[in-house]
Structure 1
Amino acid sequence: MRFTQSERLVFTGDSVTASGRDREDPMSLGEGYVRMIAEALPASATVVNTGLDGNRARDLEARWTADVLGLAPSVVTVLIGINDTWRRYDRGLLSPVPEFEACLDRLLTGTLAPAPGERRGAPRLFVMTPFLLPVGPGQQTWYEDLAPRTEAVVRTATAHGATVVRTDLALSRAAGVHGAAALAPDGVHPSPLGHRVIAEAWLAAAEAAGTDGAAGIGQDRE
């Protein structure tokens, strides 16, 4: 698929996606991986960021119709899950993996279902895996919750024919070179280098999936 003027790519999720976007400006892309991807795509493609700080899967579901489907996207990318894990350890708020998986399944199923009277095809789905780069005391134990949640993301995305972007693996490999703190100082929120790794993982997955028209990061937009 070549990105053209008619393409609308919507990225959504939590603060990793939002990355400081101005919520009063619907075209604000934030300063993270979404902006980097937009800068690497042909200028004719429209990119929208609806990430929202602190979101868990249930929060994202509550605004999915307005913040994703209502934008008539041709490509939808979702990154969610780390807050479902984090809130267990810092606030005691549980998000059982089966419930999380069922929620993600509903989101993807609803996205692929044609709207009444809608003639355009279903959006292409990209699902990014949540990640953690332990740097703080006790963060290593979060994998007890995050590992099965990541498996659920991959399983659900695959079942819906989505392109899976293994951000967790890309960041883990990069951490072996640069160190975890250089990529995510608090283990969760990426640095500019961490965001670049995420953007490159998305672009590589898009190319592998046949979505040509994506230039490399740092190249001029067409």
Structure 2
Amino acid sequence: MRFTRDDLLLFIGDSVTDTGRDREDPASLGDGYVRMIAEALPSPATVVNQGVNGHRVHDLEARWATDVLALAPSVVTVLIGINDTWRRYDRGLLSPITEFEASLGRVLALVKEKCAARLFVMTPFLLPAGPEQETWFEDLAPRTDAVLRAATAHGATVVRTDLALPRAAEEHGAAALAPDGVHPSPLGHRVIARAWLEAAGVYEGRTPSERL
């Protein structure tokens, strides 16, 4: 896919997307995969980071009109779900899969309806940092399936970070990619950025040495 200076690429999600961005500065991209993608694009498209630490899917839906639709993006990328799982285990806050899927489906539908933007949906991921996090998959696995169903239903390009990061962990070790199991290291963010760039077709015609 080729992007031009007229394109606005918007990324939205939780802390994995936020990565310390300055919310007072619309041009601030944080220090994670969003910045890496912006720097790897071969064309001068505008990139916007709308990640917010701690957010779950209902938080995204509550701010969708102002943080997404009002900007009229041409490409929207969503990465959400791990906090919907995490809050079940650390605070006892439930996010039923049916409600989660319905909420995600509604925001994706609004993008298609109001912006006619191209959609990318990233799967949530977990690289367990200890035995207690292994149990999270009982919640995260069906949630990931819900993300995949919603993405397919709305014609989104799926970025399987839940597959890319474990593959990278086989080589580098899980702790090198996400020390606490959830928040990526610089290397983990690089894996995510590369997965998005590959899904977007940015690497087409580029040699391995020219890739991120």
- Which bracket does the TM-score occupy, shorter chain normalised? over 0.9
Aligned ranges 1:38-187 → 2 under 5 Å: 38-114=38-114, 122-187=116-181
Q: Give the structure 1 partner of residue 29 of structure 2.
A: 29
The residue identity in structure 1 corresponding to 2:167 is R
Which 5+ residue runs of structure 1 have no aligned equivalent?
115-120
Change in 2 beyond 3 A, CA 1:69/1:218: farther
Higher relative contact order (CA 8 A, sep 6+): 1
**Structure 1 CA distance, aligned partners of 2:17 and 2:161?**
12
Amino acid paired to 2:48: V
TM-score of the two chains, using structure 1 as the length reference:
0.91
Once residues 176 and 91 of structure 1 are traced to their aligned partners in structure 2, the CA distance between those partners, rounded to angstroms, is 31
The CA distance in 1 between the partners of 2:26 and 2:52, in whole Å, is 12
1:217, distance to aligned residue in structure 2 (A)? 9.5
Per the alignment, in what secondary structure is the counterpart of residue 113 of structure 1? helix
Deviations 1:92-123 (A, max 9, x none): 00000000000000001111113xxxxxx600
After TM superposition, the score normalised by the length of structure 2 is 0.95
Identity over the aligned pairs, expressed in percent?
73
RMSD: 1.8
Per-residue displacement from partner, 1:197-217 (whole Å, max 9, x unpaired)? 00000001011xxx6789689
Distance in 1 (CA, whole Å) between partners of 2:205 and 2:92 is 42
Give the residue type in structure 2 aligned to 1:88: R
Once superposed, which parts of structure 1, at least 4 consecutive aligned residues long, lie more than 2 Å away?
211-220
Structure 2 Cα separation of the partners of residues 21 and 188 of structure 1: 18
Number of matched pairs: 211
